[in-house]
Chains A and B, each alone.
Chain A
Amino acid sequence: MQGEQDWVDGMAEFKFKYLKPEDIRKLATYEFAPKAVVEGYLSGRHMSRSRGSSIEFRDYRQYVPGDDLALVDWRVYARTDRHYLRTYEQETNMDCHIFLDSSASMGFGDGLRKLEYASFFAAALCYLVVRNTDRVSLQIFDDKIRHFFAPGSTTRHLHNLMHALENNEAGNRTSIAEALKRSYPLLKRKGSLVVISDFFDDPGAIFSALSPYIHRGFKIHLFHVLTPEEMDLPDRGLLTFVDMETGRRIVAHTDNLRKPYAAAIQDHIAGLRKLAVRRSIDYVVTRTDMHYFTLFDRLTR
């Protein structure tokens, strides 16, 4: 425990834009432990499909020659006169793959921009994962993968991620599906897949791109980041709306748009949620005026 505290204190000494010392102290009470089975090779605190030595009972199996006699459950032998071995869940380390949308639309936000909000959340998540000696990977994408950081669990790796987040700027158009498709071969081990985006993309295409991950057993978390202005259009009268991704200009009066826009964005969210539920994907909508710590409730135990 003392060593972990020293590591935390050491991290707090660094001045990262998206990982502030006070946040680090607050994160001390959090622990990243997604309820998913992972396939790590280091003994850790995450459940694994590989049976091994741990305290977590899994199943009985019949004794075969060569098995460790220490694993024989003598109580069962006394009742049944047969040799059965107790098998346990093997605990291992976890890979967490973070997909951060850095498209131009993520640069929107009157106060805190969505990209900044997402970066804060991603930085904290990276910190939590690394602190638990799990591995974290980061992929910054817009319509393509702009930066890919392979999974790692070292402090240096964490520092690299922090610097990458700090130097990241909103880029081009959003294409989550494309980024997911391109990243799939890069992820060697399954684990948690955290996508942080505003999801201004075709929901069908997004979930179609997620299908291979689902089949491989990834635990997928979708964090839908929106600003309050996107949830509820401000009453600013007649405006020339300029699309941050396409540059398209549209003149419209917010009076005429507010109600239908709110309905449309809610329809979009409902569509995403419906598809997520159907695939057992965790889907969370968050606003930039809400603190990102609340999102850890969905990730930690």
Chain B
Amino acid sequence: MSILFSNAVIWPVAALVAVPLLLHLFARTKPPVYSFSSVEFILRIIRSTLRMKRPQDWLLLALRTLLFTSLVLVFLRPLFFSQRRLAGMFQAKNVVVIVDATASMSYVDGAQTRFAAACAEASEIMAGLSNRDTANVVWLSSAPRAVFPEMGANIAYLRDSLRRASVTSEAGNIQEAFDLAVRLLSEAEGKRELCIISDFQKTAWEDVSLTPIEGLDIVKVPVGTATAANAALTDIQFRPARPLLGEEVTIFCDVHNYSAQPCGRTLFLEAGESRRSQQVVVPPWSKATGVFRHTFKSPGTFTISAALDEDVFPGDDRRWTCVPVLEFMRTGILASDTQTAGAWRRALDALGWARTETISRADLDGDLPYDILMLAGWDGASRQNLREKLLQGATIVCSPAGGVSPGDATLSRRQADVGALLRHEQSSEPHSVKIVRPDDRIFQLFADGDFGDPSRGLFRERLHLARNALSGADVLMAFDDGVPALARLEQNGSLYFWNLALDPEFSNWASHVEFLPFLAELLLGSRPSANGHVVYTEHLPGEPVAWNVGRTVLTSDMQLRDRIGQALPIRRGGGSLRFASSIPPPLGSYEWLYRGQYIGCSVVNFPTIESDLRPMDREQVKTAGSVVAAGGSKVRHLRDGVKLWPYFLALALCLGLLEGLALIWIERT
């Protein structure tokens, strides 16, 4: 804390402070002499009033001394500095202001948004700069950018930019903005200062640690209040992930309440032509889920949107997603084991929603555009490609041939264990199977017994393997001696290890009526969330929506449209097979068209990190080497000092008034 006198040359004038004291003293000792007949009465009066007069005199003396002191200080023009060094204050200043333009800044605090307040504070900071100072503004968004490529002296342009700026719906990349600001300041000569104006949203800032830079003053200017209540639609999901035509789809909409009071909101769902709503009551600082059920009448990719009735922060009240509705599931069957493959095909052909295609061993190295792969008599070929499909979310039912290791059979990451290969074994006494995990989803249909017992069947042939050979897999069914009969390994997609013989010579299971619903349940319950083909992409605000077309196409053949059919400019991006919007589009859903045909959609949803509007505690905002200022004017005060002369002038006026009042009071008393 320091005080500098701008007009120190008139320090000798400070001697005026002695004037009232001297006046007081002279007034007491040098009044004209008046010879009076007797001062006895005067003495008596003075004695009686001395107790009152002396404090009054001292009061007047104090007031007058303070009055003169204030007047002298007015002319000395003192500047008050707190928490700052005076060194370097006469150098040219280089100021970079990081203005938070993330979505949370659009919250209306009182009469204006946080962003408008931040721009006003930044403009206030700029207003305090002189002609020899340089400045720049860095917008904090998902891709931070500066107004000038380097430090500039055109302060007027910066202020105009601040006036014209608008807030984004993006989340902010704080570290990148900080690095950009530091880079801008690194080459500047003179005093360097970085001001960060933000709401310091807790969810965005609490994990950020800005490294103090030597010689760089960091000032943080919080805007916004701590009591920002908000309700947000934070997620929209549906089950199943790839519904079939006519299948009921359950849509889950998560509503968060970021306030200390419970809130009741109306949740709207728009799916195709259907529009429904329901009331959702969300406890304080908690989440509630609205559930809708919808059945799509035609196959295709449908954009569904959910929305809340609008509140003071409407940006996060709407979300979009795309539901790929399948007419059927493409099932590729490797028929190396013809008996098993035949049993599978017969069963699946009886189902309306499955379309089977026979694939060859060579096809396993290809694209495999199937929802489900059923490998009968797989010998371990194309293991890596199958593993990638599994990781992409595909469902694979694998009935390995003999000579394959259990590790290969489960597409594990490890190399095959040569010493423990699978081999077929036959027995004269048939083995029965039992359900090990009756609570698993594939057995739910059979829980009440209406659909029979899926474990009813006898097996004289099976792959021999140890009970614990399938490490990491859930054994769903096992033979009576404990050997796994059906196991599942989930790695994004689901892999079923099938050890259940379907050859009528060795098993009667396929002939039982329970086999068909069991197989259907197994495939429906484990249908892939993706089959490697993207049906829609989800993006964050601030980034361009993009689409991989998979083959070389002309840019003129590609089109991106928003929901109302308006085309958006696109460009090739990230390779000849990838297209992206020229500019980041606003929140919403968009369709990609190739030669007028729909090929996919992209959605841009509000970043959930921006929904919780609570700022950090003031103490948390402080980091090493930084100062927290209440506003732009405070920043100027920190940098240029607080001009105290108006306060001293006001003080002098008040003291003058007080002296007058004191005189009146003294005269009356």
Q: List the interface of chain A (C-beta within 8 A of B).
A: 105-106, 108, 114, 198, 200, 227, 230, 236-246, 248-252, 255-257, 260-261, 264-265, 268
Q: List the interface of chain B (C-beta within 8 A of A).
A: 27-29, 31-46, 48-49, 53, 667
Asked if B38 and A260 sit within 8 Å, CB to CB, the answer is no
Knowing A238-B27, A250-B46, say if A244 contacts B38 (CB, 8 Å).
yes
Residues of A within 8 A of B48 (CB): 260
Cα A279 to Cα B45 in complex, Å, equals: 30
Knowing A250-B42, A256-B53, A260-B45, say if A237 contacts B31 (CB, 8 Å).
yes
A-B CB contact pairs (8 Å), 5 listed = A200-B37, A237-B31, A241-B34, A244-B35, A257-B46
Q: Which residue of B lies closest to A262 (CB)?
A: B41
Cα A256 to Cα B56 in complex, Å, equals: 12
Asked if B37 and A230 sit within 8 Å, CB to CB, the answer is yes
Cα A248 to Cα B46 in complex, Å, equals: 14
Residues of A within 8 A of B32 (CB): 236, 239-240
Cα A246 to Cα B35 in complex, Å, equals: 11
Knowing A251-B28, A256-B49, A260-B49, say if A244 contacts B37 (CB, 8 Å).
yes
Asked if B36 and A241 sit within 8 Å, CB to CB, the answer is yes
Residue in A114, A230, A243, A264 whose beta carbon sits within 8 Å of that of B45 in the complex: A264
Knowing A238-B27, A251-B31, A252-B46, say if A261 contacts B41 (CB, 8 Å).
yes
Knowing A250-B43, A264-B45, say if A243 contacts B38 (CB, 8 Å).
yes
Knowing A257-B42, A260-B45, A261-B42, say if A244 contacts B667 (CB, 8 Å).
no
Residues of A within 8 A of B46 (CB): 250, 252, 257
Residues of B within 8 A of A249 (CB): 33
Residues of B within 8 A of A257 (CB): 42, 45-46
Q: Which residue of A lies closest to B28 (CB)?
A: A251
Residue in B28, B34, B45 whose beta carbon sits within 8 Å of that of A261 in the complex: B45
Q: Shortest Cβ distance from A199 into chain B, in angstroms?
A: 10
* Most central of B27, B34, B40, B667 by chain A CB within 10 Å: B34
Q: Which 7 A-B pairs have the closest CB atoms?
A: A108-B37, A105-B37, A238-B31, A239-B34, A264-B41, A200-B38, A243-B39
Residues of A within 8 A of B40 (CB): 200, 243
Cα A253 to Cα B111 in complex, Å, equals: 60
Asked if A252 and B37 sit within 8 Å, CB to CB, the answer is no
Cα A257 to Cα B42 in complex, Å, equals: 7
Residues of A within 8 A of B42 (CB): 241, 250, 252, 257, 261
Q: Which residue of B lies closest to A113 (CB)?
A: B37
Residues of A within 8 A of B39 (CB): 241-243, 246, 248, 250
Majority-rule SS of B interface residues:
helix
Residues of A within 8 A of B28 (CB): 251
* Most central of B28, B35, B36, B40 by chain A CB within 10 Å: B36
Q: Which residue of A lies closest to B52 (CB)?
A: A256
Residues of A within 8 A of B35 (CB): 108, 242, 244
Other than the given A241-B39, A242-B39, 20 more pairs (CB < 8 A) read: A198-B37, A198-B38, A236-B32, A238-B27, A239-B32, A239-B33, A241-B36, A241-B42, A243-B40, A244-B36, A244-B38, A248-B39, A250-B43, A250-B46, A251-B31, A257-B42, A260-B49, A261-B41, A261-B45, A265-B41
Residue in B33, B44, B45, B53 whose beta carbon sits within 8 Å of that of A242 in the complex: B33
Knowing A241-B39, A244-B37, say if A264 contacts B31 (CB, 8 Å).
no
Q: Which residue of B lies closest to A254 (CB)?
A: B34
> A-B pairs with CB below 8 Å: how many?
78
Residues of A within 8 A of B41 (CB): 261, 264-265, 268
Residues of A within 8 A of B49 (CB): 256, 260
Q: Shortest Cβ distance from A292 into chain B, in angstroms?
A: 18
Cα A242 to Cα B27 in complex, Å, equals: 16
Q: Shortest Cβ distance from B31 into chain A, in angstroms?
A: 4
Residues of B within 8 A of A255 (CB): 667
Q: Shortest Cβ distance from A265 into chain B, in angstroms?
A: 6
Cα A249 to Cα B29 in complex, Å, equals: 10
Residues of B within 8 A of A240 (CB): 31-34
* Most central of B27, B42, B48, B53 by chain A CB within 10 Å: B42
Cα A1 to Cα B279 in complex, Å, equals: 136
Q: Shortest Cβ distance from B370 into chain A, in angstroms?
A: 112
Q: Shortest Cβ distance from A243 into chain B, in angstroms?
A: 4
Cα A227 to Cα B37 in complex, Å, equals: 10
Cα A200 to Cα B38 in complex, Å, equals: 7
Q: Shortest Cβ distance from B369 into chain A, in angstroms?
A: 110
Cα A93 to Cα B377 in complex, Å, equals: 175
Cα A98 to Cα B40 in complex, Å, equals: 26
Q: Shortest Cβ distance from A288 into chain B, in angstroms?
A: 11
Q: Which residue of A lies closest to B32 (CB)?
A: A239
Q: Shortest Cβ distance from A161 into chain B, in angstroms?
A: 25
Asked if B34 and A236 sit within 8 Å, CB to CB, the answer is yes
Cα A249 to Cα B41 in complex, Å, equals: 13
Cα A12 to Cα B572 in complex, Å, equals: 141
Cα A114 to Cα B48 in complex, Å, equals: 29
Cα A242 to Cα B37 in complex, Å, equals: 8
Q: Which residue of A lies closest to B666 (CB)?
A: A256
Q: Shortest Cβ distance from B389 into chain A, in angstroms?
A: 107
Residue in A230, A239, A251 whose beta carbon sits within 8 Å of that of B29 in the complex: A251
Cα A299 to Cα B40 in complex, Å, equals: 31
Knowing A251-B28, A256-B49, say if A264 contacts B44 (CB, 8 Å).
yes
Q: Shortest Cβ distance from A225 into chain B, in angstroms?
A: 10
Q: Shortest Cβ distance from A143 into chain B, in angstroms?
A: 14
Asked if B38 and A105 sit within 8 Å, CB to CB, the answer is yes
Q: Shortest Cβ distance from A115 into chain B, in angstroms?
A: 11
Residues of A within 8 A of B37 (CB): 105-106, 108, 114, 198, 200, 227, 230, 243-245
Residues of B within 8 A of A108 (CB): 35-37
Residues of A within 8 A of B27 (CB): 238
Residues of A within 8 A of B31 (CB): 237-240, 251
Cα A74 to Cα B296 in complex, Å, equals: 167
Cα A92 to Cα B428 in complex, Å, equals: 186
Q: Shortest Cβ distance from B45 into chain A, in angstroms?
A: 4
Cα A251 to Cα B30 in complex, Å, equals: 9
Cα A242 to Cα B31 in complex, Å, equals: 12
Knowing A251-B28, A257-B45, A264-B45, say if A245 contacts B38 (CB, 8 Å).
yes
Cα A268 to Cα B33 in complex, Å, equals: 25
Cα A200 to Cα B39 in complex, Å, equals: 10
Cα A230 to Cα B40 in complex, Å, equals: 12
Cα A257 to Cα B41 in complex, Å, equals: 10
Residues of B within 8 A of A246 (CB): 39
Asked if B36 and A242 sit within 8 Å, CB to CB, the answer is yes
Cα A248 to Cα B53 in complex, Å, equals: 20
Residues of B within 8 A of A239 (CB): 31-34
Cα A230 to Cα B41 in complex, Å, equals: 10
Cα A157 to Cα B38 in complex, Å, equals: 34
* Most central of B37, B38, B39, B53 by chain A CB within 10 Å: B37
Residues of B within 8 A of A265 (CB): 41
Q: Shortest Cβ distance from B555 into chain A, in angstroms?
A: 99
Q: Shortest Cβ distance from A175 into chain B, in angstroms?
A: 13
Cα A239 to Cα B49 in complex, Å, equals: 17
Cα A239 to Cα B31 in complex, Å, equals: 5
Cα A242 to Cα B36 in complex, Å, equals: 6
Cα A107 to Cα B213 in complex, Å, equals: 88
Q: Shortest Cβ distance from A202 into chain B, in angstroms?
A: 10
Cα A264 to Cα B39 in complex, Å, equals: 12
Q: Shortest Cβ distance from A287 into chain B, in angstroms?
A: 13
Q: Shortest Cβ distance from B127 into chain A, in angstroms?
A: 53
Residues of B within 8 A of A200 (CB): 37-38, 40
Cα A261 to Cα B40 in complex, Å, equals: 10
* Most central of B38, B41, B45, B46 by chain A CB within 10 Å: B38
Residues of B within 8 A of A260 (CB): 45, 48-49
Q: Shortest Cβ distance from A200 into chain B, in angstroms?
A: 4
Q: Which residue of A lies closest to B56 (CB)?
A: A256
Residues of B within 8 A of A106 (CB): 37
Q: Shortest Cβ distance from A256 into chain B, in angstroms?
A: 7
Cα A256 to Cα B33 in complex, Å, equals: 17
